[in-house]
């Protein structure tokens, strides 16, 4: 082997990837560029499921009150409040609130018309 070939072999070994002289301090590896243990990675976001509006549920339950005036008025008022909350906070239960308003309205209408119909049937004049 000649001296020139031996020199190039030694020089070639010095440039090997695992050797000390090949690492340059101005070049950083990918894992050194992070500022923390999870830089660039977003933390998992909590999963939020829309909830059913409680006011709408209470409004529908209020229509079950045996006194038609109280149940009807509560169903209508709480159903309207429930619908407003559902739209404001993007909740579920719109159908429940509408059902409470409808059932409360029918209940209140029947409670107001029942005495009139009964008096007409019995022939009682006021």
User: What was the pLDDT predicted at 40?
Assistant: 74
Quote the Cα angle for 98-104-109, to 5°: 130
User: What was the pLDDT predicted at 106?
Assistant: 96
Residue 22 lies inside a defined structural domain of this protein? no
Residue 95 lies inside a defined structural domain of this protein? yes
User: What was the pLDDT predicted at 57?
Assistant: 97
Mean pLDDT in consecutive groups of 10 residues from the start of the chain, 126 residues: 54 53 58 57 86 96 93 97 97 97 96 92 87
Phi and psi dihedrals of 71, rounded to 5? Answer: -65, -40
Neighbour tally for 84: CB within 10 Å: 13
Residue 9 CB contacts under 8 Å (≥ 6 apart), including other chains: 1
Return d(Cα 76, Cα 56) in angstroms, integer.
Answer: 10
DSSP-derived letter for residue 45 is: P
The structure tokens listed for 95 are: 């159908």
Residue 41 lies inside a defined structural domain of this protein? no
pTM for the whole structure: 0.62
Maximum Cα interatomic distance, the chain, rounded to a whole number of Å:
134
User: What was the pLDDT predicted at 2?
Assistant: 57
Nearest to 98 by CA among 50, 57, 40: 57
Residue 31 lies inside a defined structural domain of this protein? no
Total domains present in the chain: 1
Residue 18 lies inside a defined structural domain of this protein? no
Residue 58 lies inside a defined structural domain of this protein? yes
Residue 113 lies inside a defined structural domain of this protein? yes
Please check whether residue 92 is in contact with residue 112, taking contact to mean a CB–CB distance below 8 angstroms: no
Write out the residue range of the structural domain in which residue 106 sits.
54-122
């Amino acid at each position: 082997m000649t001296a020139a070939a031996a020199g190039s072999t030694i020089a070639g070994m010095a440039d090997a990837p695992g050797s000390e002289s090949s690492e340059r301090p101005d070049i950083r590896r990918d894992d050194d560029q992070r500022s923390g243990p999870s830089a660039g990675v977003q933390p998992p976001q909590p999963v939020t499921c829309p909830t059913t509006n409680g006011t709408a549920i209470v409004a529908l339950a209020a229509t079950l009150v045996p006194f038609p005036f109280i149940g009807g008025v509560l169903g209508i008022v709480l159903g309207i409040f429930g619908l407003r909350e559902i739209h404001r906070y993007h909740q579920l239960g719109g159908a429940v609130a509408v059902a409470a308003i409808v059932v409360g309205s029918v209940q209140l209408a029947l409670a107001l018309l029942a005495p009139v119909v009964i008096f007409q049937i019995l022939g009682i004049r006021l």
